[in-house]
Amino acid sequence: MHMLEDIIKKDKAYYMNTFGDRLPVAFKYGRGMKLYADNDEVYYDFLGGIAVNAIGHCHPDFVAAMKDQLDKLVHTSSLYYIENQANLAKKLAENTCADKIFFCNSGAEANEGAFKLAKIYFYKKGIDKYEILSLDHSFHGRTLATVAATGQRHYQAPYEPLTPGFRQIQPNSIEAVKEAVTDKTAAIMIELVQGESGVHPMDIEYAKELRDFCTEKGILLIIDEVQTGMGRLGKLFAHELYGIEPDIFTCAKALGGGVPIGAVCAKADVAAAFEPGDHGTTFGGNPLATAAGLAVFDIFEKEGLVENSEKMGKLFKEKLISLKEKYNDKITDVRGMGLLIGIELKPEIAGEVFKKLFENKMLTSLCKGLTIRIAPALNITEDEIDLFVDTFDKIMQEI
């Protein structure tokens, strides 16, 4: 039996069917932007493992750091001090507006940690605030609390009654915020660019007004940077582009270069609400995961990847806007920042374009059945961008 057929057969027999029929490929190894299938065909990863593989696949420095750490220590638990954990916390705090960091294992866990921190912050002050507002069309994770915060009904419906205390409001409307806030509102959580719903950036004016409003009303502003963080938009974190500072922000995805790690990052006065016993984790921030985070930071700094993300993102978007002008009857919008870009297509062709991209060995994702999402490695080259643009152009001609 062909290897892929064997994998599919086992998957159908033993794996819970949460992903349905996946794209028919299994990868053996990767190098940079390239992924090699079990039949040795080469694919180009323009999705970056859904914004995870910011340094590309199997970066030699990253692989060396992981091998070195594997030879030493993988896990000890949080009962003991962990050198890599302390060093990565320092690295994040020194490079962001956060003062204190807590490590966990995923973006959803980081967002859960942010909710807990916001709630306990007011609890410790003796203030009865517990409600968290988030935005329609948002995506914050798959746990019960993060599903309640996710502004998409199809993710929420099967899990009702939802975790109480969460409500969604219209994005990009400060009026909607003012109408929704009550004396019970503890925090407002937003993504500055909503990735999963099709790459929808918030207006800069809205973000600034929201920051000012939260400060005025004593509400914590939480920014979910799980997808937009770690250089994806051309700055280390999206809130830098918007010129605002959150009270709490979360990150994950690219932070570990593919090794699972998440982080809750907060200002000192907010972080102080977590005291011994208030929160914890077994695996979070273990020696291996934090070695991965340190290796990612080293590569970012050595290779100027945040700057490259800004430069290549601008170039990529310009080339795609040229295609939109050429095929304005088929491409309805091109939007995004840095190397998080959405190409919105007419609904009748979007699925077919996504399929043809895959057939042409270009890996992307299709959001809401309308938008091709691109989130490649931050060390992408102009040649690789041209390869995608030329392939996309060819598909548009044919479709």
Identify the band that residue 348 occupies on the pLDDT scale cut at 50, 70 and 90.
very high
By CB neighbour count within 10 A (0-12 exposed, 13-18 middle, 19+ buried), where does 13 fall? exposed
- 129 and 273 within one domain: yes
Domain co-membership, 78 together with 222? yes
Same domain, 112 and 249: yes
180 contact partners, CB below 8 Å, separation of at least 6: 133, 167, 169
pLDDT in tens, 349-388: 999 999 999 999 999 999 999 999 999 999 999 999 999 9
**End residue of a domain, out of 273, 303, 333:** 303
Tell me, yes or no, whether 140 and 173 share the same domain. yes
User: pLDDT at position 2, please?
Assistant: 75
Note whether 213 and 141 are same-domain residues. Answer: yes
Share of the chain above pLDDT 70, in %: 100
- Report if residue 225 sits inside a domain: yes
pTM: 0.97
> Looking at residue 46, what is its pLDDT?
98
Strand 248-251 and strand 220-224: the pairing is parallel
What's the confidence (pLDDT) of residue 326? 97
Handedness of CA 120, 96, 203, 337 (dihedral sign): negative
Residue range 291-321, pLDDT digits in tens: 999 999 999 999 999 999 999 999 999 999 9
Q: Flag whether 378 is in a domain.
A: yes
Query: Above 70 in pLDDT, residue 1?
Result: no
Q: Kindly state whether residues 250 and 294 are assigned to the same domain.
A: yes
Flag whether 64 is in a domain.
no
Say if CB 162 and CB 195 are below 8 A apart: no
Whether the CA torsion 40, 45, 47, 49 is positive or negative: it is: positive
pLDDT in tens, 198-227: 999 999 999 999 999 999 999 999 999 999
Domain check: are 43 and 105 in the same one? no
Name the band, by pLDDT with cuts 50, 70 and 90, for residue 322.
very high
Distance, CA of 250 to CA of 392 (rounded, Å): 34
pLDDT the model gives residue 285: 97
Are 315 and 292 members of one domain?
no
Among 266, 282, 303, identify where a domain stops.
Answer: 303
Asked if residue 161 is part of any domain, the answer here is yes
Number of domains the chain is built from: 2
| Three-class secondary structure assignment of the chain | CCHHHHHHHHHHHHCCCCCCCCCCCCEEEEEECEEEECCCCEEEECCHHHHCCCCCECCHHHHHHHHHHHHHCCCCCCCCCCHHHHHHHHHHHHHCCCCEEEEECCHHHHHHHHHHHHHHHHHHCCCCCCEEEEEECCCCCCCHHHHHHCECHHHHHHHCCCCCCEEEECCCCHHHHHHHCCCCEEEEEECCEECCCCCEECCHHHHHHHHHHHHHHCCEEEEECCCCCCCCCCCCCHHHHHCCCCCEEEECHHHHCCCCCEEEEECHHHHCCCCCCCCCCCCCCCHHHHHHHHHHHHHHHHHCHHHHHHHHHHHHHHHHHHHHHHCCCCEEEEEEECCEEEEEECHHHHHHHHHHHHHCCEECEEECCCEEEECCCCCCCHHHHHHHHHHHHHHHHHC
Query: Looking at the structure, do residues 100 and 142 belong to the same domain, yes or no?
Result: yes
> Would 382 be classed as within a structural domain?
yes
Q: Is residue 68 domain-resident?
A: no
For residue 296, give the CATH number of its domain: 3.40.640.10
Contacts of residue 196, defined as CB under 8 A and 6 or more positions apart, other chains included, come to: 139, 152, 227, 367
| β-bridge pairing 262-266 and 100-104 | antiparallel
Residue 66 inside a domain? The answer is no
Per-residue pLDDT, averaged over 265-291, amounts to 98
Regarding whether 276 and 127 lie in a shared domain, the answer is yes
Is residue 117 within 8 A of residue 135, CB to CB? The reply is no
Which positions are catalytic? Answer: 139, 224, 253
Task: Tell me which residue of 239, 231, 253 sits closest to 192, measured CA to CA.
Answer: 239
Q: 180 and 201 share a domain?
A: yes
Q: Are 273 and 263 in contact, with CB atoms under 8 Å apart?
A: no
Owner of token pair 């998080």: 340
Share the mean pLDDT of the chain.
97
* Domain of residue 127, residue span: 73-303
The pLDDT value recorded for residue 212 is 98
Final residue before a domain boundary, out of 303, 323, 338: 303
Q: What whole-number distance in Å separates Cα of residue 103 and Cα of residue 88? A: 9
Q: pLDDT at position 337, please?
A: 97
Whether 291 maps to a domain, the answer reads: yes
Looking at the fold, whether 13 and 100 belong to one and the same domain comes out as: no
| Under 8 Å between Cβ of 314 and 235 | no
CA distances from 197 to 113, 243, 364, 367, 371 (A): 23, 24, 14, 6, 8
pLDDT in tens, 220-275: 999 999 999 999 999 999 999 999 999 999 999 999 999 999 999 999 999 999 99
